[in-house]
Amino acid sequence: MTNFNRFAMRSDEDFIRKVDSMRMGREDFPSRAQIVREAVEAAYAAKEKTPGGQTPRV
């Protein structure tokens, strides 16, 4: 049986709107899912570096 680490993050509407406005009309920008995935990875990496494992604001 494989054990997967889970990481959950809530994205608010403002964040999603900002992502969509950045992507609007740009072919060279990654998909919304890719941008959110990278934000989650950055938050997780920052959490690992933070003393006490507290989630930093990103």
Residue 48: what pLDDT?
76
Residue 29: what pLDDT?
83
Domain boundaries, the chain: 11-23+30-48
The whole-angstrom separation of Cα 24 and Cα 19 is: 9
* Stronger pLDDT, 58 or 42, i.e. the higher one: 42
The whole-angstrom separation of Cα 43 and Cα 47 is: 6
pLDDT digit string (tens) for 1-57?
555 566 566 677 888 888 888 888 888 888 888 888 888 888 888 877 766 656 555
Residue 50: what pLDDT?
67
